[in-house]
């Protein structure tokens, strides 16, 4: 791909993202996007194919932006609860800057999942996003007893970010209270406490309180990265 061709392709994808963020997927036509991107329709089709192929390319791009927000670990052996807090904070920082980004991604996923020719490719993009989160958590030294897996944590964090972004779309951008995010993170962190039982207790049994529970919850409530006890 030549530099000029790559620039034209990026120009079209940026125009498509703006249009979807503004009007939604249902209002998108290739003719409208060609006009917004400042290219002729033949050029758009030559570079990106039809509407569905173009939307898949936008989905791949926005998914990449979500993944890129997840900075590589600053420490080779950080703790799991700290990684949860850092990854959530990184994604929320991105969505504060671009509130429509997760909404656009969700719209594209739902649209393409209903298109038989592209449904599996859409699933690949979702799996790619979840795998990036799960990989962050697998690198941590602290582990649970297996009650909560890294893929499960990835699904929960991704669902929180997407769900809160969709909720925020009903109001003014950036109006979601910070405490709502804190409570959401606390809920995920609490699962780690359930997975590490107190002496004499079983995971989820309610018998005893793990010695990190109160300390961890207080630090999350303050907005700090929660501390975790040393790995067993």
Provide block-wise average pLDDT over 10 residues at a time, the chain (232 residues): 79 94 91 92 92 95 95 66 90 90 95 95 97 90 66 93 84 66 87 55 40 39 41 36
- Supply the pLDDT for residue 58: 96
Could you give the dihedral angle defined by the CA atoms of residues 18, 23, 29 and 35, in that order, rounded to the nearest 10 degrees? -50
- Supply the pLDDT for residue 187: 87
- Supply the pLDDT for residue 190: 85
- Supply the pLDDT for residue 205: 41
d(CA 116, CA 185): 36
- Supply the pLDDT for residue 219: 43
CB 94 within 8 A of CB 101: yes
- Supply the pLDDT for residue 120: 97
CB 81 within 8 A of CB 226: yes
Tokens of 106: 């969700």
Domains of the chain (ranges, CATH numbers): 3-49 (1.10.10.60), 73-221 (no CATH)
Asked whether the CA dihedral 75, 80, 84, 87 is positive or negative, the reply is: positive
What's the whole-model pTM score? 0.77
């Amino acid at each position: 791909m030549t530099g000029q061709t790559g620039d034209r392709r990026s120009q079209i994808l940026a125009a498509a993202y703006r249009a979807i963020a503004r009007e939604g997927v249902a209002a998108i036509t290739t003719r409208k996007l060609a006009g917004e991107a400042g290219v002729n329709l033949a050029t758009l089709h030559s570079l990106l194919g039809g509407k569905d192929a173009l939307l898949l390319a936008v989905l791949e791009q926005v998914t990449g932006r979500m993944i890129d927000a997840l900075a590589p670990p600053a420490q080779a052996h950080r703790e799991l609860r700290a990684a949860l807090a850092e990854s959530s904070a990184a994604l929320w920082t991105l969505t504060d800057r671009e509130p429509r980004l997760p909404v656009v991604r969700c719209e594209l996923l739902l649209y393409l999942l209903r298109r038989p020719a592209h449904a599996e490719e859409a699933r690949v993009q979702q799996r790619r996003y979840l795998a990036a989160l799960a990989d962050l958590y697998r690198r941590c030294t602290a582990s649970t007893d297996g009650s909560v897996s890294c893929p499960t944590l990835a699904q929960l964090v991704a669902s929180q970010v997407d769900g809160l972004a969709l909720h925020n779309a009903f109001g003014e951008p950036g109006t979601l209270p910070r405490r709502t995010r804190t409570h959401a993170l606390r809920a995920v962190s609490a699962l780690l406490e359930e997975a590490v039982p107190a002496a004499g207790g079983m995971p989820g049994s309610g018998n005893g309180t793990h010695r990190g529970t109160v300390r961890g919850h207080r630090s999350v409530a303050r907005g700090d990265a929660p501390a975790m006890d040393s790995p067993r």
